[in-house]
Chains A and B, each alone.
Chain A
Amino acid sequence: MSTVRFESVTKSYGQTVAVRELDLLVSDGEFLTLLGPSGCGKTTTLRMTAGLIEPSGGRIWFDDQDVTYAAPRNRNIGFVFQSPALFPHLSVADNIAFGLSVKGHKKAEIATRVDEMLDRKSVV
């Protein structure tokens, strides 16, 4: 776990400002809910946290590491999408295995960990 810190983060699309100078500190282990009307920048904030979009200004820190412009894969962060994002051409097991396989884990290790997860969730 780590802390997530936003430092006057701004995101604008052309003339439209989606997030204006957001300062935010999410402490280690904190459970935080963003609540607001649609179009107020909740999704934009989350997507900047995950690294799917880059902020127009400001800094984002995970602990003392500056991740403002880091690629999503270098952030080690989980993200649940609004629309279904299961890979339709892969089996359930392959969907679970995807993250491990792209990180270059060994096949045998992936298989045991996928089995473990399937057992825990009583999928099989």
Chain B
Amino acid sequence: MSAITAARPARRSSRRLSRRRIVDVLSHAYIWLCLIVFVLPFMVLLLYSFTGPGGTYAIQNFQYVLGSFRENLLWSFGISAATLLISALISLPAAYAIVRYGFRGKRTLFSALTLPLYVPGAVIGISLLLTYNFTYHLTTSPIGLVMAMVVGTFPLMLTPIVVAMKDLPLVYEEAAACLGATKWQAYRKIVFPLIGPGLSAGLMLTFIIVFNEYLVTLFVHPPGLVTAPLRIFNLVRTAGLLPTTAALAVTMQLISFAAVILFFRVFGTRYLKGTYLI
């Protein structure tokens, strides 16, 4: 009698436990499946970049990254840096004007300004090629490429700054003005640091897109200026997929990851901590 009563609850709980275990296993499997789908291409590329002749293991592939690919990477960094600078110099005052001043057609203007995000790279590329070729003859200089990058990506810089400006209460600027600050002092000492997270988000997004952009570059790059993504594209097209090319691709991916990690580590929400904004 006592044996039966003792056995019953135990069996019921074990059944319940096994059901929970099945759900556990399934949910784990689902998460792992998603992770594998997301991470697999990168892992395959990583493995392939270490493949030597005859299927051996070779770290030498990465010597090419600093050897013959060095110039391409430097071009990519240079174009990215110039684009970030110009884009930020345009977007910071633009965002301030859009948020702080009212004018007719503001919403329409802002929508129009974000248009480049929805236009395919090939369309931007061909239209810029036409424009620059016939108007400024800029397709033979890196300046043309930088301008193309700015035109194609500046909504990525503008939008996070606009959002940060909108989140910033006007009261800080007013307090600064009452304490004797000029408009410029209030901007430099108060507004600029407080929209830091927005600016850094814009910098990060723009960097990742510009650094990895090949389609627009393909249209407007001057002869002899080959950025790293364009080099990858050219090599894959002419020589097939070589492990050395994979090594360059892995390097570029690591640089992009580093930019994201740096953003969250260094900037993150540091400036807004301790305020009622977060």
Contacts and interface: CB of A to CB of B under 8 A. Distances in A.
Interface string B249-278: 000000000000000000000011111110
Nearest to B275: A88
A117 interface: no
B32 interface: no
Given A83-B169, A88-B194, A73 B271 contact: no
A71 interface: yes
Interface string A79-96: 101011101110000000
Given A98-B189, A102-B185, A89 B180 contact: no
Give the size range of B's interface with the partner: 20 to 34
A103 B274 contact: no
Contacts of A78: 178
B206 to A, nearest CB: 23
A89 B194 contact: yes
A102 B185 CA distance: 7
Is the interface on chain A under 10, 10 to 19, 20 to 34, or 35 or more residues?
Answer: 20 to 34
B171 A81 contact: yes
Interface in A60-76: 71-73, 76
B182 A87 contact: no
A51 to B, nearest CB: 8
Interface string B168-186: 0101101111111110010
A14 to B, nearest CB: 12
A103 B180 CA distance: 6
B149 to A, nearest CB: 31
A77 interface: yes
Contacts of B274: 88
B172 A73 contact: no
B190 interface: yes
B193 interface: yes
24 contacts: A50-B174, A51-B177, A52-B174, A52-B178, A71-B177, A72-B178, A73-B181, A73-B182, A76-B180, A79-B174, A79-B175, A81-B175, A84-B276, A85-B175, A87-B175, A87-B190, A88-B194, A88-B275, A89-B194, A89-B271, A98-B179, A102-B176, A102-B179, A102-B181
